[in-house]
Amino acid sequence: MKYSQARFGRVFVIRLEDGEIIHETIETFAADHAITAAAVIAVGGADEGSKLVVGPEEGRSTPVIPMELVLADVHEIAGVGTIFPDKDDKPVLHMHIAGGRNDRAVTGCVRCGVKVWHVLEVIIFELVDATARRLMDRETGFELLEP
């Protein structure tokens, strides 16, 4: 385990609107408001055609080859994530959502492009004095959090 310490800063209440791409919109907001680290929660809808990362093709193989799932219809979603800077100090959102429609559910990462269906309510809890950042891990190909 690796860890660092931070404290809460500002809290932002945001409404994303129809057609916005979750990770792009939140990362732009973070950059525009000088948010370098944060915890994020979200609730709302994901539109058909949204793409999720739903796991690796093979368990612990390297390189890791992610699988994508395209939503065939609108889903109700709830998500949780973090924002931390990459090597270039750009804020990067890592968020997973659980989505459902009728009696089916799916969970995955929003990184490939999840499009808002009508509205997504987002709360960003800024973390100040945070030293953590996302750095490339050669073995997995992921930008891993380094506290």
- The answer to whether residue 106 sits within a structural domain is yes
Residue 139 has pLDDT above 90, yes or no: no
Please tell me whether the overall predicted TM-score, pTM, comes out greater than 0.75 for this model.
yes
Residue 31 belongs to a domain with what CATH number?
3.30.1330.80
Q: Extract the tokens encoding 13.
A: 């209440």
Task: Identify the three-state secondary structure at position 142.
Answer: coil
- The answer to whether residue 18 sits within a structural domain is yes
Q: What is the mean pLDDT of residues 41-69?
A: 94
DSSP class per residue in 60-77? T-SS--EEEEE-SS-EEE
pLDDT digits (tens, 9 = 90+) for 80-135: 999 999 999 999 999 999 999 999 999 999 999 999 999 999 999 999 999 999 99
- The answer to whether residue 51 sits within a structural domain is yes
Q: Which domain holds residue 13?
A: 9-129
Task: Write the burial class of residue 26 (CB in 10 Å: 0-12 exposed, 13-18 middle, 19+ buried).
Answer: buried
The count of domains in the chain is 1
Sign of the Cα torsion 69, 75, 81, 84 reads: positive
Cα 22 to Cα 62: distance, rounded to the nearest angstrom: 28
> Phi and psi for 27 in degrees, rounded to 5?
-65, -40
Residue linked to tokens 């999720």: 52
Q: Assign 64 a pLDDT band (cuts: 50, 70, 90).
A: confident
- The answer to whether residue 47 sits within a structural domain is yes
- The answer to whether residue 79 sits within a structural domain is yes
Cα 14 to Cα 124: distance, rounded to the nearest angstrom: 8
Q: What is the mean pLDDT of residues 57-65?
A: 88
Residue linked to tokens 């990459």: 86
Residue linked to tokens 């891993």: 144
